Amino acid sequence: MKLRTRIAATYVTLTIVAIAIVSMISSWQIRQFLEKRDEATLTAQVSMFAEQFSAGILHVDPSGGSDSTLSSLAHPLGTRMTLIGRDGRVLFDTNVPRDSLGFLENHKGRPELRAARRGRVGTDVRESRTVHEDFLYAATQIHVPSDSLLDGGYVRLAFPTGPSRALVSRVQMMVWLVGLVVALCMAAASIPLARRITRPLQGISKMAEAMTKGDLRVRIPLAAQDEVGSLATTINTMADTLSTDIERLRKLERVRSEFLANVSHELRTPIFSMQGFLETLIDGAVDDPAVNREFLGKAHKHAERLNTLLNDLIEISRIESGDMKMSHRYFALPEFLAHVVEEMRPEADRKNISLTLLNPLPEDVEVFGDKERLKQVMVNLIDNAIKYTDPGGSVTVRAVADADKVTISVADTGCGIAEEHLGRIFERFYRVDKDRSREVGGTGLGLAIVKHIVEAHDGTLSVKSAVGKGTEFSFTVKR
């Protein structure tokens, strides 16, 4: 059964139960009231008639002469009057013709008469055996010594209970009728109410269905600030989180496959070149003293390149998987810088580039970090500066100290980097000029590694450049 139907059914059932209870209680109360009232009235009337018989104002005539007087007294009251002799014989009855009185049963044993003999007004409710209708009876004894027929006899009044019962039934009917209307109104009112409850639930289930099919864009329109509303909010938030997560996973997957494509591409170049030179040598060039050395040298250069590339790849995957362990400690910076610059000097000399260290810091200035990794940063930056500067240019390494950090910069007078590339050079495999980079042996991993290492030291890395004038990379280390 639908929730909506169930809510409506509950409302209607509750209404019907409430009506049944109201109807039962009200009709019981009314019946009680009417019965008490009728009994009191009839008791008063029968006592009054008894007094009048006892006083001789009223009497019964065996020949029937008094019948019309008695009838005219009983009828307006809506009662049936019966006069019964001491022996139980019926002397008169407003509802029975005089010539039929002889056929009537002896009334001596009637409950109201038996009660009357005990000196009170006796009452009883039952179906009349004479006229077959439900009656309330009230009887009392008459004492009139002058009238031998009536003395010790009884006057009895009977009042039909039908009309009272009919009134009760009418009230009951009215209650049910009103109740029915109320039940219908309830049913009608429960429909929009039930819909208000079920609509957001329908929204939620629709959304869950859509999510099952993989559509995470669906959101539940927020209805009310109630429990269902807060459920909807929770589910919407959940969907937001899920789609963000999935988006991130997709992006990661994209980056991963791009990375894989780049790697295979980069590996292929040196391998193919090596293969080419070696094949040429095998095909006979090995015996040609004019080229064999040159070809072997070139093959060797590509093997070296392959080695650097693989080392860089291992490095970067280690960094990105979080496997790279840093061992931070304090070490003297001036000595460190001098050492790195001297190591790079042969490379600069080979290209006829002047390499200068400008270090105004005292000998004992220390920085806090992983010395080996920071050396890698320096080597990468100086290597780039030499690679992308034409012979005759210069590369300057500088250190500037603050209270809590040292800023180290590597500046060159090289080709510079155009504005639009500056934001991307730290990405893996990104190279401004692919051909020139490859020529000088670059794969675009150096700066990505630099960035990772500087960030692992909580430092900042920045670059300033002007095309044709030169470039300056700076990074900070904590003191």
Ligand X SMILES: Nc1ncnc2c1ncn2[C@@H]1O[C@H](COP(=O)(O)OP(=O)(O)OP(=O)(O)O)[C@@H](O)[C@H]1O
Q: Which residues bind ligand X (CB under 6 A)?
A: 312, 380, 384-385, 388, 412, 414-415, 417, 425, 430-433, 437, 442-448, 471
Select 35 or 433, whichever has its Cβ closest to Mg ion: 433
User: Which residue, 176 or 430, is less far from ligand X as judged by CB?
Assistant: 430
Smallest distance from Mg ion to CB 268, Å = 20
Given candidates 270, 414, 416, 446, which one binds Mg ion under the rule CB under 5 A?
446
**Closest CB to ligand X among 200 and 442?**
442
Q: Residue 388 binds which one of ligand X, Mg ion, none, with CB within 5 to 8 A depending on kind?
A: ligand X
By three-state DSSP, how is residue 346 classified?
helix
- Please, what is the minimum distance in Å from the beta carbon of residue 275 to Mg ion? 26
Tell me how far, at minimum, the Cβ of 198 lies from ligand X, in Å.
60
Q: How far apart are the first and last CA of the chain?
A: 73
Q: How far apart are CA 258 and CA 266, in angstroms?
A: 12
| Tokens standing for residue 408 | 């180290």
Number of residues in contact with Mg ion under rule CB under 5 A: 2
What CA–CA distances, in Å, run from 139 to 48, 64, 97, 121, 149?
Answer: 11, 22, 21, 6, 17
DSSP string covering 137-181: EEEEE---TT-TTTTT-EEEEEEESHHHHHHHHHHHHHHHHHHHH
Closer residue to Mg ion (CB): 85 or 446: 446
> Considering CB distances under 5 to 8 angstroms, the limit depending on partner class, which of ligand X, Mg ion, none binds residue 471?
ligand X
Cα–Cα dist 61/96, whole Å: 15
* Cβ-based nearer residue to ligand X, 153 or 470: 470
SS3 of 413, please? coil
Min separation Cβ 393 and ligand X, Å: 10
**In the complex, least distance from residue 437 CB atom to ligand X, rounded to whole angstroms:** 4
**Smallest distance from Mg ion to CB 229, Å:** 56
In sequence order, what are the residues at sequence separation of 6 or more whose Cβ sits closer than 8 angstroms to the Cβ of residue 440?
387, 388
Cβ-based nearer residue to ligand X, 140 or 380: 380
Measured at CB, which residue is nearest to Mg ion?
446
Work out what residue 158 binds among ligand X, Mg ion, none; the CB cut-off runs from 5 to 8 Å by kind. none
Work out how close the CB of 279 gets to Mg ion at its nearest, in angstroms, rounded to a whole number: 30
Q: Reduce the DSSP state of residue 82 to 3 states and report it.
A: strand
The answer to whether the beta carbons of residues 4 and 195 sit under 8 Å apart is yes
Q: Nearest CA to 86 among 157, 178, 148? A: 148
Instruction: Identify the residue among 130, 161, 384, 465 touching Mg ion (CB under 5 A).
Output: 384
At 87, the amino acid letter reads D
Q: Which residues contact 47 (CB under 8 A, 6 or more apart)?
A: 121, 140
Give the shortest CB-397-to-ligand X separation in angstroms: 12
Taking the least distance from each CB to ligand X, the nearer of 6 and 469 is 469
Instruction: State which residue, 144 or 382, has the beta carbon closest to ligand X.
Output: 382
Among Mg ion, ligand X, none, what does residue 414 contact (CB within 5–8 Å per kind)?
ligand X
Within 8 A by CB and 6+ apart from 178, the residues are none
Q: Which runs of consecutive H residues, i.e. helices, occur in 55-161?
A: 67-74, 111-117
Q: Among the candidate windows 147-155, 174-182, 229-237, 443-451, which touches Mg ion by CB under 5 A?
A: 443-451
Per DSSP (E only), the strands in 32-129 are: 80-84, 90-93, 122-127
List residues near Mg ion by CB under 5 A.
384, 446
